[in-house]
Amino acid sequence: MTENASLLLGRLGLDALPFYSWVAFSGALVTLAGGVGFLVLVTWLGQWRALWTGWLTSVDHKRIGIMYIVLALVMLVRGFVDAIMMRLQQAMSYNREGYLPPEHFEQIFSSHGTIMIFFMAMPFMTGLLNYIIPLQIGARDVAFPVLNAISFWLTFAGAGLMLISLVIGKFSTAGWTGYPPYSGVEFTPGVGVDYWIWSILVSGVGTTMTGINFVVTILRKRAPGMLLMRMPLFTWTGLCSSILIIFAFPALTVSTTMLALDRTLGMHFFTNDGGGNVMNYMNLFWIWGHPEVYILILPAFGIFSEVVATFSSKRLFGYPSLVYATAVIAVLSFTVWLHHFFTMGAGANVNAIFGIATMVIAVPTGVKVFDWLFTMFRGRIRFEPPMLFTIGFMCLFVIGGMSGVLLAIPPINYSTHNTTFLVAHFHNMIIPGVLFGYLAGYMYWFPKAFGFQLDRVWGARSFWFWMIGFLLAFMPLYALGLMGMPRRLETYGNPEWQPLLIVAFVGACLILMGIISLVMQLWVSVKNRKALVDQTGDPWDGRTLEWSMPSPPPIWNFDNVPVVSSRDAFHEAKLSGIPLPAAEEDSPLSVPKNSVMGPCMGVAGMCIGFGAVWYIWWLAFAGLAIAVAAIIGRSFVQSTENDVSFKRGATTT
């Protein structure tokens, strides 16, 4: 605490407002306008009560899932704006400044990575898990519905802190990985890194609880007869992801907390002097960071598995292989973290072992690709948008897998590490792998959530823009990386790089068209929702239990929890014409009551984070007090369920 801090406002002052550049200022204005616009709109529509009771305090996993996905889509746009700004900067900054000063460029690449991983991909995944898994396993809700709401609100608080950083103060300049000692106070004294730390710490707590919630839900709340080896693949991958979350997220909590202690209390975990150890941060961060990649991509694999079987009108090929491959990937993901820093100077033995361990992951991943391929073999393939994204994924993903194996070879890594080759590789995994999966899931399950389908044409347009845009944006980066271009470069003097960077910018523009198509798709579909309506609850001729109920499902999901006797039980029931038998239940049907716990903890998380960023300690302690009081208060609430038996059957078709 080297700066003079006032008791009331900490180190927050008028200089925190973004008047330093017009780009930053307009970013702040857009953010503010978005926030105010939303408030005005809700007020104008007179929907505050409906919003509060229907959504904000809801503990229904379906509502929470939708809120997660809305958050993810908003943050996707925000993160993409960062991306296209970087591409524009690099396309024009050969031998000149470009339009972004270094410090602003640094904030942009830091916030792009942070948003896309923590506040786009994670909420998108959690949202899909939330909406679908209880439906797929025949459960009425998740195991801990209120905890689920708290998880969402903590994620929201983290995202909120990110957005606030755009208006008040600056964001981190240390990249999404926040490597010390650069991220320490010695080199970056402002509030930026603190915003980064606290936004991911607050949301990370929520994510850990999500992991616990879903492991319990999947292992304990399945319908009778839903054996583990009868679970849909998406549920399996969700289970593996959740287990990874439980074991991996403590490492993120520990590494970022220690960084915060260094910065705020002058400790010496990762400082250059005072006995700090920088490499320890990298170990801790990547012990979380590598499993995180699989936390994100396994559910996407699950979605592809569902989509490829449904739209090939065929049973999933090699189900046991896919399950074992998923489990093997989950275990191996903890054994490879060192490949993120081969160049730290470890011995050849260590590097070779971690390199080989990394390549071994290619085996189960390759098996998965082949299993999807043979699911298509002798099928009847319908090219609906989710299937387009899946086919696109299979073609692009193997390219990313190949560049990943190359990066895992230490001698090659020495030349390609820190270059745009690396950037191209992980975007190749995260865009066609993770994001295509989530978008496929979004388009696949949208009719379940809202009772009408999404427009096909705009969906297909979006796919083609994303696919071609991705190729144009990232294939040049592979080439640039091999030419030795470092990542995170604000300007450069090599004339050979510029044409390729311009191509990459064009690619980013096509991706922009892809995002606009997504918006158009939603707009057009909502407008034509009467024509696109789905009365059956099963628009795709689905195979799993979520398609056995009306769309949107009633708040209690299943009027009668089904008894399952095989994999794809719903599909078989359709073929045989005999509905799934109903399980006996010994209690009246009830659903959890709304709870203010979620918003309370969100406010608390926001206060703690904002207070700690600006050294406004009373606010941080107030946040902590709210959290503790809320938990204690909640423990005194006796009645947490509403009986809804009388409504049962009212919506049965």
Partner 1 sequence: MWQAFNLMLLVVVPVILLTLFFAWRYRAAGGKGAYRPDWDRSPIIEVTVWGIPIVMIGILATWVWDKTHALDPYKPLPGSEPLRIEAIALDWKWLFIYPDLNIATVNELAFPVGKPLSFRITSEVAMNSFMIPALGGQIYAMAGMETQLNLQADEIGTMQGRNMQFSGDGFAGQTFEALSMSQDDFDAWLSNVRQSNSHLDTASYADISKPSTDAPVRYFSTVPPDFFSKRVAHFMGMEHEHNPNVKAADQ
Partner 2 sequence: MIAASDAVEEQIDRETEFGFWLYLMSDAVLFSLIFVTFAVMSSNLASGPGGADLFDIKNLAMQTALLLTSSLTIALAHHATEGRNTTRAVVWLVMTCILGTGFLALEIRELSGFVAEGAGPGRSGYLSAFFTLVGTHGLHVTAGLIWALTLIVQIVLRGIDHRLLSRLARLSLFWHFLDIVWIAVFSLVYLPEFL
What CA–CA distance (Å, rounded) separates 648 from 281? 54
Q: Of the listed pieces 53-61, 176-184, 555-563, 608-616, which binds partner 1 according to CB under 8 A?
A: 176-184
Binder of residue 394, out of partner 1, partner 2, none (CB less than 5 to 8 A by kind): partner 1
Binder of residue 456, out of partner 1, partner 2, none (CB less than 5 to 8 A by kind): none
* Minimum distance of partner 2 from residue 640's CB (angstroms): 9
Listed in order, strand segments (DSSP E) in 155-263 are none
Q: Beta partners for 590?
A: 643
What CA–CA distance (Å, rounded) separates 417 from 69? 33
Q: Is 19 in the site for partner 1 (CB under 8 A)?
A: no
Q: Looking at beta carbons only, is 28 or 252 nearer to partner 2? A: 252
6 alpha-carbon distance from chain centroid? 37
What CA–CA distance (Å, rounded) separates 609 from 159? 11
Binder of residue 54, out of partner 2, partner 1, none (CB less than 5 to 8 A by kind): none
Residue 197 burial (CB < 10 Å; 0-12/13-18/19+)? buried
Q: Of the listed pieces 46-54, 203-211, 286-294, 308-316, which binds partner 1 according to CB under 8 A?
A: 308-316
* Minimum distance of partner 1 from residue 302's CB (angstroms): 17
* Minimum distance of partner 2 from residue 226's CB (angstroms): 16
Q: Angle at Cα 342 formed by Cα 240 and Cα 495, nearest 5°? A: 110
Active-site positions?
68, 78, 82, 86, 109, 130, 141, 148, 151, 155, 207, 210, 217, 290, 292, 294, 305, 321, 365, 368, 425-427
Select from 79, 123, 211, 318 the one that contacts partner 1 (CB under 8 A): 318
Select from 23, 30, 331, 405 the one that contacts partner 1 (CB under 8 A): 405
Listed in order, strand segments (DSSP E) in 209-308 are none
Q: Looking at beta carbons only, is 269 or 558 nearer to partner 1? A: 269
Dig out the tokens for 229 from the structure.
Answer: 């080896």
In contact, 150 and 597? CB cutoff 8 Å = yes
* Minimum distance of partner 1 from residue 139's CB (angstroms): 26
Q: How many residues bind partner 1 (CB under 8 A)?
A: 90
Q: Is 279 in the site for partner 1 (CB under 8 A)?
A: yes
Nearest residue to 233 via CA among 514, 567, 464: 567
* Minimum distance of partner 2 from residue 41's CB (angstroms): 37
Binder of residue 219, out of partner 2, partner 1, none (CB less than 5 to 8 A by kind): partner 2
Q: Looking at beta carbons only, is 66 or 423 nearer to partner 1? A: 423
Q: Of the listed pieces 204-212, 372-380, 597-605, 631-639, which binds partner 1 according to CB under 8 A?
A: 372-380
* Minimum distance of partner 2 from residue 53's CB (angstroms): 19
- Residue at token pair 């964001």: 171
Q: Looking at beta carbons only, is 245 or 606 nearer to partner 2? A: 245
Q: Is 102 in the site for partner 1 (CB under 8 A)?
A: yes
Site for partner 1 in 373-392 (CB under 8 A): 373-383, 391
Q: Rg of the Cα trace of the chain?
A: 24
Q: Angle at Cα 182 formed by Cα 180 and Cα 183, nearest 5°? A: 65
Q: Looking at beta carbons only, is 145 or 507 nearer to partner 2? A: 145
Nearest residue to 152 via CA among 601, 555, 592: 601
Find the length of the chain: 653
Residues that bind partner 2 (CB under 8 A): 143-144, 208, 211-213, 215-216, 219-221, 246-247, 249-251, 253-254, 257-258, 261-262, 265-269, 271, 273-277, 280, 284, 287, 586-588, 590, 628, 632, 635-636, 639, 641, 643
Dig out the tokens for 564 from the structure.
Answer: 């399952």
In contact, 501 and 480? CB cutoff 8 Å = yes
Binder of residue 218, out of partner 2, partner 1, none (CB less than 5 to 8 A by kind): none
Q: Of the listed pieces 21-29, 178-186, 450-458, 601-609, which binds partner 1 according to CB under 8 A?
A: 178-186
Binder of residue 143, out of partner 2, partner 1, none (CB less than 5 to 8 A by kind): partner 2
What CA–CA distance (Å, rounded) separates 644 from 627? 30
Q: Angle at Cα 143 formed by Cα 141 and Cα 147, nearest 5°? A: 100
Neighbours of 71 (CB within 10 A): 22
> Rounded to 10 degrees, what is the CA torsion of 44, 46, 50, 53?
90
Binder of residue 317, out of partner 1, partner 2, none (CB less than 5 to 8 A by kind): partner 1
Tell me the C-alpha to C-alpha distance, in Å, between residue 215 and each of 129, 142, 144, 237. Answer: 11, 10, 11, 11
Q: Is 87 in the site for partner 1 (CB under 8 A)?
A: no
What CA–CA distance (Å, rounded) separates 417 from 408? 10
* Minimum distance of partner 1 from residue 66's CB (angstroms): 31
Residue 174 burial (CB < 10 Å; 0-12/13-18/19+)? buried
Q: Is 316 in the site for partner 1 (CB under 8 A)?
A: yes
- Residue at token pair 């559910």: 299
> Rounded to 10 degrees, what is the CA torsion of 414, 425, 484, 480?
160
- Residue at token pair 């998740």: 142
Binder of residue 250, out of partner 2, partner 1, none (CB less than 5 to 8 A by kind): partner 2
Q: Is 198 in the site for partner 1 (CB under 8 A)?
A: no
* Minimum distance of partner 1 from residue 250's CB (angstroms): 24
Dig out the tokens for 86 from the structure.
Answer: 């970087």
State the amino acid at position 148 in one-letter form. N
Select from 131, 285, 304, 319 the one that contacts partner 1 (CB under 8 A): 319
What CA–CA distance (Å, rounded) separates 448 from 538? 8
Site for partner 1 in 464-503 (CB under 8 A): 483-484, 486-493
Q: Left (φ > 0), alpha (ψ -120 to 50) or beta: where does 225 sit?
A: left
* Minimum distance of partner 1 from residue 300's CB (angstroms): 17
Select from 70, 402, 531, 629 the one that contacts partner 1 (CB under 8 A): 402
What CA–CA distance (Å, rounded) separates 245 from 205? 11
* Minimum distance of partner 2 from residue 642's CB (angstroms): 9
Q: Is 194 in the site for partner 1 (CB under 8 A)?
A: no
Binder of residue 586, out of partner 1, partner 2, none (CB less than 5 to 8 A by kind): partner 2
Site for partner 1 in 409-428 (CB under 8 A): 409-415, 417-419
Binder of residue 112, out of partner 2, partner 1, none (CB less than 5 to 8 A by kind): none
